[in-house]
Structure 1
């Protein structure tokens, strides 16, 4: 995980503070963009500014940690779906998880894109990109091997699709619901038998 504090073992209280800061930062960045107040994040986490800066010496290190933490959580969800659902259901449920996160975090994404100073986080964080692409690829491969989705799709295309849907519906009334509806339409096109009834995987 990004951040110097994550590269060495932490005491239990330090780990709790670290996790509180990450949770507060994720919500603050989603609400207010990449320039969200670090002091506000510290207050939301219930820690002092010195504690925040001890764990995350710079805004950039905190942004990197938030991205990495979310990617790890999404990859864990992919494994959970693979264990508990059939191949196509696992893939489509996970795409809805990814879509929900993209919708929840679009304030941060839009801020990065428009501000430009840290926009490379979206493109140059190779570890996160590899992790999320591998998770998508494994689910897609299982669904293809089971004959439940059309052949010839690529994991990278699925990630671009979800990102594009999030950006396309940003600012619309009921944007999260619109994103889910559009993703369901795309999912119907992915199926090897598109006429099959689409389950509400976003529920």
Structure 2
């Protein structure tokens, strides 16, 4: 009896995981297309699930966004750890900052829009954890570039992340120029942080 109950639970858990993943994929696509105008009901339709299924996993837009951010942060941190093995510490840092900037533009400003809103305690705790994870990963890459590469000792990872996010924001304001993000990010190679101090 116990075995049958456990067997019955496994498919339900698998279905729930599949539904959650479908919702996240649909949400990412919807946010990329619609930005702040994305609708939870449209996301449910796109995922092929009922609104009730979506709301069981994500009670509001902010909860869904936080889940997407968490997945992206996990991927960025994993990439950063891999880049610590790169032969060039300078290039590793630049590559990772590029990835951070691309993440910032992925959902057309929705992240910034939602972060301005007053988060719940649970959401705020999750976001603080994600922020700390990004800072920690970036600090490891920067420290290696300072010790083994050409990054100036006075550089601060928080400043570099602000720079990457500012570049991402600037590129969003000129969506008609799809190469702007890459051109601005290229300044990280030839300009700050690698200009020598005055």
Task: Establish whether TM, by shorter chain, passes 0.5.
Answer: yes
Taking the aligned partners of 1:61 and 1:180, their CA distance within structure 2 comes to: 31
* Structure 1, gaps ≥5 residues long: 1-8, 194-203
CA 1:91–1:176: 2 relative to 1, 3 Å? farther
Partner residue in 2 for 1:23: 25
Contact 1:32 1:107 in 2 (8 A): no
Partner residue in 2 for 1:183: 185
Q: Which of 159, 162, 179 is matched with 2:161 structurally? A: 159
Q: What's the TM-score once normalised by structure 1's chain length?
A: 0.77
* Structure 2, gaps ≥5 residues long: 1-9
CA 1:106–1:119: 2 relative to 1, 3 Å? farther
- 1:83 is displaced (CA, Å) by 2.9
**How many residues of Structure 1 are paired with residues of Structure 2 in the alignment?**
183
RMSD between aligned residues: 2.8
- 1:103 is displaced (CA, Å) by 2.3
Larger radius of gyration: 2
Worse overlay, 126-135 or 42-51: 42-51
Contact 2:89 2:149 in 1 (8 A): no
Contact 1:147 1:192 in 2 (8 A): no
Deviations along 1:24-47, one digit per CA (max 9) or x if unpaired, are: 212322332344111111122222
Contact 2:101 2:165 in 1 (8 A): yes
Taking the aligned partners of 1:76 and 1:20, their CA distance within structure 2 comes to: 23
Partner residue in 1 for 2:135: 133
